[in-house]
Structure 1
Amino acid sequence: MADQAALTGQDAGKAPQSLDEVMLAMDVVDTLRHQENLVSRELGEEVRDAQLLQRLRDIYRGQGIEVPDRILLEGVRALKEQRFAYTPPGPSFSRTVARAWINRGRVGRTLLTIAALLGLGWSAYQFGVVEPARQRAAQEQARTERERTDLAERLPAALEQGHEDVLREAQLPAARERADQILADGKAAIERKDAEGARQAINNLEALRADLRREYILRIVSRPGEPTGIWRVPPRNPAGRNYYLIVEPVAPDGRILSLPVTSEEDGQTVTTSKWGVRVSEATAMQVQQDKNDDGIVQRNRLGEKRRGYLDVDYQMPVLGGAILRW
């Protein structure tokens, strides 16, 4: 009871004055927290405090440390008052800010990583999805606008000009009729907003004009080492023969032209400078006899293609049809 009286006495109310005493009081509190369960909780408070003091004396004496009773009593009082106990503050904005500041390094790295990932994702999306889509849309818009302008202005004008150019070259009604038909097809394509169809009509007029302007002599080949004529056994008539004269188109300036020719054997069209024209046996024999006289075909002009005309004006009878290989 003397210990209890000391606990309530005036001297016990005095706090430790030195840092060592404060640290010692904190150690007493810590010891009490670990040893308090050794004291029965069924005892009264006075008896319990006395037992605590006695237990503390024994503990520190066992360690060779003499602790004044006032320090022990101060530790007991501090334990009761929770003076050295840490009570974490409740949730608050200031606490959140403080924790964020404490963890600013880790949080900053995390935020920087997230920002970098978001930036990479945004860049990939922009350059991989948005930008190609924008370019495609811009190209499609430009193409649509260009096609609209072509259909409204350029293609009609080019179609009319091509038709006029053909009419200036044409010397036969058949060529003019063909030009008129191509013009009608082109206008119909423009009406239905078919720009490709209109361009094809313009190309057809240009090809017709080029064909009309072309002029050449269809000359029978009679050079040494090259055949002048050949014959073939037709697949459907093994007992018959087809005769051909080998010809080449020669322009007025002496150039050998290359023209599209369709083979009657396989239907293939090839641009070539030499092909065989089918003729009768009599015509073939006549040319061969001409060549046998002196090795040269004197009458070597099979026909002539004049400017303004579409077809060759043959000077020898021909049966039509051509071959490309022999």
Structure 2
Amino acid sequence: MAETAVAPAEQAGGKAPQSLDEVMLAMDVVDTLRHQENLVSRELSEERRDAELLERLRQIYRGQGIEVPDRILQEGVQALKEQRFVYTPPAPGFTRTVANAWVNRGRIGRSLLALVALLGFGWGAYHLGVERPAQQRAAQEQAAAERNRTELAQTLPSALEQGHEDVLREAKVPVARERADQILADGRAAIARQDADGARQAINNLEILRADLRREFVLRIVSRPGEPTGVWRVPPRNPSGRNYYLIVEAVSPDGRILSLPVTSEEDGQTATTSKWGVRVTEAVAMQVQRDKSDDGIVQQNRLGEKRRGSLDIDYLMPVLGGTILRW
């Protein structure tokens, strides 16, 4: 044990530094001691335990064919006691955090890049799927509101007054002028309450009325081969009675067959059609039937006439007013 005390003293007295091989050998001794110290009883005194450790180390290295001087073995035991070659991690702190971040910069960088990409994707999806459509809707609504304000201030009032004047120029009957005046009043009221849709509807109604007034045709009884000229029905509320209908079509002055909206008295349905049935008295139905029986052609085939400027058909034969769409 005297050598153990002398060696450090000699080093402290200014001996030449140890070679790298000796330092590495001493580190190996310390590592071996860490693994083999449990072979030595912890109940032994410190001096006896050191002797046991030295003897055990000699046996280990001799078994490996390595001759290690006792000085190196003693330095290893002393270094183990002083924990000279033990790594003690630095305490947590800012410097340690920065160092760890630098060491792991690759993994951290990839994580940050993935996070940035995810945030960018989320922002893009929100912008394209929510924010941008909302902006477009707001812009469209603003443009529509501005367009409505302009139309309500200028376009719609002018179009409404012009439509009314056009109807009055065509109208030749009081009922048409009264209807035009009512539509005009409805349109002005819609403009006053800033209802652009209501004003447009009034303008459209005036256009429809004007088209009705300009339309002219002859209501002709159908008498073509293979097509019925008249039919009869048993009314649901009067099983013992019969309703007679003449099948007619509207023919314009240039010979075109017109399609007109007609409402059936049987079910209340309205449809645009080129042929429909008009209810007449039994006497008129029999008269038309006798006319057709002579030569298969209805000579007196004009049931009525719609003149330009009027809304109603002037019937040339007595009619009862009901119509049907199917027979």
User: TM-score, with normalisation over the residues of structure 2?
Assistant: 0.86
Partner of 2:177: 176
What are the Cα deviations for residues 169-216 of structure 1, in whole angstroms up to 9, with x where unaligned?
A: 000111100000011112222222332222221111111100000001
The CA deviation at 1:58 is 5.3
Is 1:170–1:308's contact at 8 Å kept on the other side of the alignment?
Answer: yes
Amino acid at match of 1:279: V
| Residues 22, 313 of structure 1: alpha-carbon distance in 2 compared, 3 angstrom cutoff | same
2: CA distance between counterparts of 1:161 and 1:301?
36
2: CA distance between counterparts of 1:57 and 1:16?
24
The CA deviation at 1:87 is 2.1
What are the Cα deviations for residues 200-241 of structure 1, in whole angstroms up to 9, with x where unaligned?
A: 211111111000000011112222222222332322223322
SS of 1:304's equivalent in the other structure is strand
Amino acid at match of 1:10: E
| Residues 249, 5 of structure 1: alpha-carbon distance in 2 compared, 3 angstrom cutoff | closer
SS of 1:226's equivalent in the other structure is coil
| Residues 51, 280 of structure 1: alpha-carbon distance in 2 compared, 3 angstrom cutoff | closer
Q: List runs of 5+ in structure 2 lacking aligned partners.
A: none
Tell me whether 298-307 or 131-140 shows the greater mean CA deviation: 131-140
The CA deviation at 1:272 is 1.2
Amino acid at match of 2:316: Q
Partner of 1:127: 128
| Residues 284, 15 of structure 1: alpha-carbon distance in 2 compared, 3 angstrom cutoff | same
Q: Please show how residues 1-326 of structure 1 align to structure 2 within 5 Å.
A: 2-7=2-7, 9-10=9-10, 14=15, 17-35=18-36, 38=40, 43=45, 53=54, 56-57=57-58, 59-61=60-62, 63-326=64-327
1: CA distance between counterparts of 2:260 and 2:11?
131
2: CA distance between counterparts of 1:76 and 1:229?
131
Aligned length: 325
What are the Cα deviations for residues 63-95 of structure 1, in whole angstroms up to 9, with x where unaligned?
A: 543322332343344345443222222334443
| Residues 208, 61 of structure 1: alpha-carbon distance in 2 compared, 3 angstrom cutoff | same
SS of 2:271's equivalent in the other structure is strand
1: CA distance between counterparts of 2:55 and 2:231?
139
Report sequence identity in percent: 78
| Residues 9, 183 of structure 1: alpha-carbon distance in 2 compared, 3 angstrom cutoff | closer
2: CA distance between counterparts of 1:203 and 1:85?
97
The CA deviation at 1:167 is 0.5
Amino acid at match of 2:197: E
Tell me whether 297-306 or 145-154 shows the greater mean CA deviation: 145-154
1: CA distance between counterparts of 2:16 and 2:77?
12
2: CA distance between counterparts of 1:58 and 1:235?
126
Tell me whether 19-28 or 107-116 shows the greater mean CA deviation: 107-116
User: TM-score, with normalisation over the residues of structure 1?
Assistant: 0.87
What are the Cα deviations for residues 79-113 of structure 1, in whole angstroms up to 9, with x where unaligned?
A: 45443222222334443333222222222222222
Is 1:214–1:306's contact at 8 Å kept on the other side of the alignment?
Answer: yes
1: CA distance between counterparts of 2:29 and 2:248?
127
Q: CA RMSD in A?
A: 2.8
2: CA distance between counterparts of 1:294 and 1:55?
143
What are the Cα deviations for residues 253-303 of structure 1, in whole angstroms up to 9, with x where unaligned?
A: 111111111122222212111122222222222223333333322222221
Is 2:4–2:74's contact at 8 Å kept on the other side of the alignment?
Answer: no
| Residues 244, 258 of structure 1: alpha-carbon distance in 2 compared, 3 angstrom cutoff | same
1: CA distance between counterparts of 2:58 and 2:309?
136
Is 2:4–2:71's contact at 8 Å kept on the other side of the alignment?
Answer: no
1: CA distance between counterparts of 2:296 and 2:88?
126
Is 1:211–1:310's contact at 8 Å kept on the other side of the alignment?
Answer: yes
2: CA distance between counterparts of 1:108 and 1:265?
81
2: CA distance between counterparts of 1:53 and 1:276?
129
Q: List runs of 5+ in structure 1 lacking aligned partners.
A: none
Is 1:218–1:301's contact at 8 Å kept on the other side of the alignment?
Answer: yes
2: CA distance between counterparts of 1:51 and 1:237?
132
Tell me whether 289-298 or 268-277 shows the greater mean CA deviation: 289-298
Amino acid at match of 2:181: D
2: CA distance between counterparts of 1:133 and 1:31?
73
